Chain A
Amino acid sequence: MGIELDFPAVLERWPNFLGGAVLTLELALFATVLGALLGTLAAVGRGTHSALIARACKVYVEAIRNTPLLVQIFLVYFGLASIGLKLSAFTVAVAALTINVGAYTAEIMRAGFEAIPRGQIEAAEGLALSRVQIYWHIILLPAVERVYPALTSQFVLLMLASSICSQISAEELTAVANYIQSDTYRAFETYIIVAVIYIILSLVMRAGFWGLGLVLFPRRRRLGTAL
């Protein structure tokens, strides 16, 4: 049996691919924003004086970082269903991805916080800045600036990992591919095309974060590096 590849037969489904790609980006966007918030809170929580909160944050981070995303998605999916919450696959996917990326973000942010020299905070106290001002201007923003590259690669990885949400029938790119290949019997061509789309998406995200970094951190642009 000879090998015949027929890409046009699969490519004529481009509206489906496009729809899947858009949903993948939406998933990634929601989970990135929510996960960044959750992760920052967890990182702050790990540094608080309350031993209970610090411990809870550590347990959260370690539990998530040491179990597979696929298991987490199933746990959220069936866990919410078993307490009677019937949510759409998209909502469950966003929730699971947020919980997942939040833990990784927390570790990265913690590294950022630890890199802030103690003297800077003391200087800010000496200048009579309020606690909120110190947290925002002296700790949070410089920390984000420092770990920005690590954060952005984590978010690109998250976009790729969102493919796993196809397993709970969220209609993102990989789920679309599964559907198209079962319809056209052209699995090889379908997955090659989907791989190319993912590569394009990750390049687009990288470029987007790079551009965003230029706007958010003008100092980084001037120095060519983080502080």
Chain B
Amino acid sequence: MGGHLNVNHLLFLGHGALWTIGLSLIALIGGGIAGFAIALARISPHKSVRLLSATYVQLIQGTPLLVILFLGYFGLAAIGLKVSPLAAAGASLTLYVAAYLGEIWRGSIQSVPKPQWEAAEGLALSRTQRMMKVILPQAIRIATPPTVGFMVQIIKNTSLASVVGFVELMRSGQIVNNSLFEPFAIYAIIAVVYFAMCYPLSLLSQRLERRMGRGMVNLAPA
């Protein structure tokens, strides 16, 4: 007990911060791939595919990430599937991010003006060609600002992985606090580190949004 914050503590926090970034990247990449599939499924010509993907999004968006995490970690362990904290956190965040990114990207794809779809069809492009060559290049422009904005949410949400014992920034703060017991100072440092990671992304998102300008489609905040 006692003692002061020293270099070792800071190194430990830095190590935690790296894992926060790592976990965010896992969630972004995993959730991005799954989210893209969700976005396409949500506008599929088959009704059953649309219904299934819409149900998935509704279920995930109606459940707290914390409960999904507990389900992945304690729940699976209880029925005999032992998973590591990293696997549980990575998988839960992927499922969670996929639902939100899927919705953001579906909105972006659908806000590509209708005449573009019709023109592509009039040029006898196949469905795949229309998507790849006409719609997606424009949708990516629309999707960029909200996606960058959502990355802030991903980074903040990785803090919940601390609850299942994954040592990222928040958890490393708790561990340091257990030896120093100066909760206010330590959590303030943790908050500053999170802010330093998130604020540049927030600014970038705002700037991108402004640069899109008035001529482009305006997306309502998610």
**Residue from the list A5, A198, A203 in contact with B67, Cβ < 8 A:** A198
Distance (whole angstroms) from the CB of A117 to the closest CB of chain B = 15
Are A194 and B162 interface neighbours, CB within 8 A?
Answer: no
Cβ A150 vs Cβ B221 within 8 A = yes
CB-based contact B66/A163 at 8 Å:
yes
Select one of A164, A188, A199 contacting B66, CB under 8 A. A164
Report the count of interface residues on A (CB-CB < 8 A). Answer: 46
* B194 contacts chain A at the CB level, 8 A cutoff: yes
Contacts known (A75-B184, A108-B221); A161 close to B78, Cβ less than 8 A: no
Q: Which residues of B contact A185 (CB under 8 A)?
A: 78
CA distance A107 to B202 in the complex (A): 13
- How many pairs of A and B residues are in contact by the CB < 8 Å rule? 121
- The one of B66, B74, B157, B195 that contacts A187, using a Cβ cutoff of 8 Å: B74
Q: Decide if B215 is an interface residue (CB 8 Å cutoff).
A: no
**How many B residues have CB within 8 A of the partner chain?**
40
User: Which residues from 165 to 219 on chain A have a C-beta closer than 8 Å to any C-beta of chain B?
Assistant: 166-167, 174, 177-178, 181, 185-188, 190-192, 194-195, 198-199, 202-203
B67, B160, B194: the one within 8 Å of A67 (CB): B194
Q: A111 on the interface (CB 8 Å rule)?
A: yes
Output the least CB separation between B128 and chain A (Å).
33
B124 within 8 A of A: no
Contact of B64 among A67, A71, A160 (CB under 8 A): A160
Given contacts A74-B187, A108-B221, contact A68 B68 (CB under 8 A): no
Closest chain B residue, CB of each to CB of A196? B63
Distance of B141 from chain A, by nearest CB (Å): 21
B184→A188 contact, CB < 8 A: no
The answer to whether B77 and A71 have CB atoms under 8 Å apart is no
Mark B residues whose CB is within 8 Å of A.
58-59, 61-68, 70-71, 74-80, 152, 156-157, 159-160, 162-163, 170, 183-184, 187-188, 190-191, 194-195, 198-199, 202, 220-221
